[in-house]
Structure formats: C-alpha cells, structure tokens
Amino acid sequence: MNTTSRPRPRAILRIHFHPAERTEELYRQLLAVIDGISSRVAPLPADWSAYVDLTGALTYWGRDVEGLVAVLRLRLLALHGVQCSAGAGPTRSIAAMAAGITPPGAATVVRDDPYEIATFLRARPASALPGIGHKTARTLSHYGITSVGDIADTQLSTLQRMLGTTAARLASERAHGIDERAVVPEAAPRSMSAGHLFDRDELDSDRHQCAVLGLVQELGGRLRTSGGIAQTLTLTVTYADHTQTTRTRSLAEPSAHSPALAATARELLTGLGLQRARVRALTIRAERLRPAEHGVRQLTLDHADDKVLLVEAVRDRARRRYGREVITPACLAPSPGVGTNR
C-alpha cells in the first residue's frame, strides 16, 4: 500500500497596510493582529507590509486561504480602522505579485495548483517578476521576451547568455512558480525612525531645518549604538490638514554619522520647498539598514572630518551618561516637551 501523501499546500500572504497616518506603534499593533492568526510573520516596515506563512494556520482555523485572509482583513479594519491589500500564493514571489495588482480593501489569491499558478504567471509582464528590474526587463525585451510566460518558455542556457548564470536561474525558477524562500518570523528590522511634532502649525523654515537636524542626530546616535548604518533616508512631512508628503534619497555611501545623514536630510527638505507650508510634524526614517562592519569609509586628508567624528563620539558618550536631551539643537531647547521620537 502506498502511504506517501502529497505535501501540504503552501499558502504565503503578502499584506500591505493603508492607514490614514503612519506611526511605528500602529505598525506594531497591526502586526500583533496578524500574529493572532499566524505566528510566522516577517515584517517589512519600509513599505508598511509583511509576509505571513498561513500554511499551518489553515488547518488550525479550519478555513481555506480566501476565508482566512477575509478574517484577517476584517480584524484589521474592525480593531484599527485600517484597510489593507493582500496577495496570497504558494510562494513569496507569487504572493508579492498578487499583492502588487490588488487595490486597497481587496485580496487576490492564487491557489497551490499547477494550472492556476501557470495561468496567473504567464500573462504577467516580465518586469512584474520579483528580481527582474527595469534594466533586466529592457534587456529581455530586446530579445522579444516581454512576459513571464516568455521567460518560462526560454531555455535556461539562452537566459544565461542574456542575464548571467545566477540571475537567469532565479528568473527561470520564479517564472515556473518555484521559490523555496521561507517566511522567517521576526526578521531583523531594516529601518528605524524619529519624529518631531511641533506645538503649533509651523511656518518657519529655519525651525523645519532645526527639527530635521535634531532628528538626524537622534537617528545617528541610535544607529551607532546598535552598530548599524543606513543606506537610505525617507522624509515624511505632515501638514496642518493632516495630508503628507514623502520623499526618499540614498546616501552617497551608507553611514551612521550625523553629518552625512544631515546633508541628505537637508537635501530632501530643501527639495520640497516648504517656505509657505504649515507643517505639523516631520518624520525621518533610516532605511536599508545593515551592520556597520559592511560599510566603507572613504579615506580623506581633511583633518576637519576627523574632528567632526571626534566631537560626535564625545556627544554620544554624554548622551549615554546624562540622557539624550542633554545636547539638542539650540532652536529646539526652549520647548523640549513638544518633540516626540519614536
């Protein structure tokens, strides 16, 4: 008698949150709701999303994928008033692609069935396949390969001549619905943020600049304490009417040093042209974090740079000993209670 059973179908969810206002506390609360459904959650705070492995949860809750995703979306809306868009499939790649075509308040589910997987994948543009960027898509398009189905139909050796060995193998596997990457619970955070709330709608651009300086000093200190460096900064401006503008820029080189962070943050702020804007709050997020030992510092003959880093080290020691408010930008010192760092 053949006792071999088919492996349990995989069900991976990619969920995007769409709140009216973003705070780290709210993001943690939304993750806690998901954790009540499945403990296998990989947070992706940079774009307010997460991967969730629902495979075991389907049996526990006695529901199919559509039913369990519906329960999760309903809980998020009922408890926190947050709409979400969700995509589910047997792999992380398919879940991400499904989520990418789903509007807020809806879900797209691709079942763990070869025909359904192929039907979903083959019609998608090549650029929709995770790992295929715009440059790679242009290269493939030059050879008449414009869809995921075209990639799947192309021999691996041919793809290798176009893309190289590793990229070709990944593209071919994912075009055939193969992606063995697991959802790793509690993945290390890849971002951290700090925010400043003005005590009134602030029109003074100098105080905007000053607040940004305080935020990057705070972020820099936290990065150096944790042994991390940031590759990207994102600035979010919240206006008097609660609307927001967000801009992102990569640093010239990954860093945790406040002068480098401040230079990039000032460029972001200046680029927004807020001279006449009534600003309620500013938030800066350091993203694409990685260990400091992976960073490279350009050599310089300018001793002023070394003095700046020495002063920064002294400031860090003072804050660790006496508290982070012991040294703040002068323009923020009169009202230390109105700023909030998250």
Contacts of 185 (CB under 8 A, 6+ apart): 39, 40, 41, 42
More confidently predicted of 311 and 279: 279
Percent of the chain with pLDDT over 70: 81
Per-residue pLDDT of 96-117, as tens digits, reads 999 999 999 999 999 999 999 9
Backbone angles phi, psi at 185, to 5 degrees: -60, 145
More confidently predicted of 165 and 94: 94
Helix, coil or strand: residue 161: helix
Confidence of residue 93 (pLDDT cuts 50, 70, 90): very high
pLDDT at 309: 60
pLDDT at 292: 67
Alpha carbon distances (Å) from 259 to 169, 238, 254, 266, 286: 42, 24, 12, 10, 14
pLDDT over 50 at 313, yes or no = yes
Per-residue pLDDT of 2-54, as tens digits, reads 444 445 678 999 999 999 888 878 988 999 999 999 989 988 876 789 999 99
pLDDT at 221: 85
Q: What gap in Å lies between CA 287 and CA 47, rounded to an integer? A: 10
pLDDT at 150: 95
Confidence of residue 137 (pLDDT cuts 50, 70, 90): confident
pLDDT over 60 at 181, yes or no = yes
Q: What gap in Å lies between CA 208 and CA 165, rounded to an integer? A: 49
pLDDT over 80 at 294, yes or no = no
Q: What gap in Å lies between CA 233 and CA 239, rounded to an integer? A: 20
pLDDT at 310: 61
pLDDT at 340: 41
Nearest to 88 by CA among 119, 65, 117: 65
In the numeric block, the tokens 């200190």 are attached to: 221
> What average pLDDT is seen over the chain?
83
Q: What gap in Å lies between CA 87 and CA 120, rounded to an integer? A: 12
Indicate the range of 12-26, 194-208, 265-279, 309-323 predicted with least confidence.
Answer: 309-323
Confidence of residue 325 (pLDDT cuts 50, 70, 90): low
pLDDT at 317: 64
Going by their DSSP bridges, the two strands 83-89 and 49-53 should be labelled as: unpaired
What is the chain's percent helix, strand, coil content, to nearest 5? 45, 20, 30
pLDDT at 28: 87
The stretch 222-250 carries a mean pLDDT of 87
pLDDT over 70 at 314, yes or no = no
pLDDT at 207: 92
Q: Would you give the DSSP letter of residue 293?
A: G
pLDDT at 301: 39
pLDDT at 312: 65
pLDDT over 50 at 239, yes or no = yes
pLDDT at 1: 43
pLDDT over 80 at 140, yes or no = yes
pLDDT over 70 at 296, yes or no = no
Backbone angles phi, psi at 197, to 5 degrees: -105, 120
